[in-house]
Copies of this chain bind each other. A is one copy, B any other.
Amino acid sequence: MVAEGSRTLKRAEVEALVREVLTARLRGEQPPASRERHAAAPRTPGGPPNPLVVNVSARHMHVTPEHLEVLFGKGAKLTKLKDLYQQGEFASEQRVTIVGPRQRIIPDVRILGPTRNYTQIELSYTDGVYLGLDLPLRISGNHEDTPGCTIMGPKGALTIDKGVIRAERHVHMSNDDMAYYGVKDGDYLKLKIDGPCGLLFDRVKVRFHPKVVLEVHIDTDEGNACDLESATHMELIK
């Protein structure tokens, strides 16, 4: 499924792009940044079994152990920068540069750990427009009819021919949460965000795992559209 090496980019082009990334990094620049934001609704007596946490997923990458070695060198492992809200998941110290079809780049895209059995890049639509990618809306791991891209790491580059997506809004739920909200895996809920940029997100997909903690994931476009930072109240609605 994956074509490694410089299939779509000539060596001189890659060198030029690397120079550009290094120059940008030396200047301390980076493209369309994103605020990581997090808002937890207070728990009320007789209310939901777990507090509602809404997190904005900034653009990121998931990677197979094999691709990690292509990008970061033989024997490379992900090292932890900080824990994420879901136990065992973490933001790694490893970052890559994404190259789109118009050879525009987004540097400093963080890899989330641990490694997975697929490589995937999750971007916002704003990122997609910038790179020239018409991103499909997908749940993680569903790569049917998704575009690829070139990924550059400090020790090598690779081109994937699929796996670049906009993540579909979703909520991680355990059995307790699904029982409380009266839903099952794959159902949709609505997420109400009150505040100066308030809105009601339709189609927040329920994703079940017995060991997850209740958490909604939206992307930076969605987080900025509702200005999650300034939210005064948040609620999941059937």
A94 interface residue (CB < 8 Å to B): no
Task: List chain B residues, Cβ under 8 A from A200.
Answer: 199-200, 202
Chain A, 194-209, CB within 8 A of any chain B CB: 194, 196-203
The residues of B that contact A8 with a CB separation of less than 8 Å are none
Q: Decide if B31 touches A32 in the complex (CB within 8 Å).
A: yes
Q: Does residue A104 face the partner (Cβ distance < 8 Å to B)?
A: yes
Q: Do the beta carbons of B199 and A126 come within 8 Å of each other? A: no
In chain A, positions 201-232 with a C-beta closer than 8 Å to chain B are 201-203, 220-222, 224-227
Whole-angstrom CA separation of A217 from B126 in the bound complex: 18
Known contacts being A104-B29, A225-B222, is A126 close to B201, with CB within 8 Å? no
Residues of chain B lying within 8 A (CB to CB) of residue A227? 125, 137
Q: How far does the alpha carbon of A225 sit from the alpha carbon of B222 in the complex, in Å?
A: 5
In the assembled complex, the CB of A126 is this many whole angstroms from the nearest CB of chain B, namely 5
Q: Contact between B196 and A130 (Cβ–Cβ < 8 Å)?
A: no
Cβ distance A189 to chain B, nearest Cβ, rounded Å: 13
Q: Give, as a whole number of angstroms, the nearest-CB distance from A73 to chain B.
A: 30
A21-43 interface bits toward B, Cβ cutoff 8 Å, 1 = contact, 0 = none: 00000000101111100000000
Closest to A230 in B: B137
Interface contact B202-A126, CB-CB below 8 Å: no
Taking CB atoms and an 8 Å cut-off, the chain A residues in 79-128 that contact chain B are 104, 124-127
A199 pairs with B201, CB closer than 8 A: yes
In the bound complex, residues from chain B placing their C-beta under 8 Å from that of A220 are 126
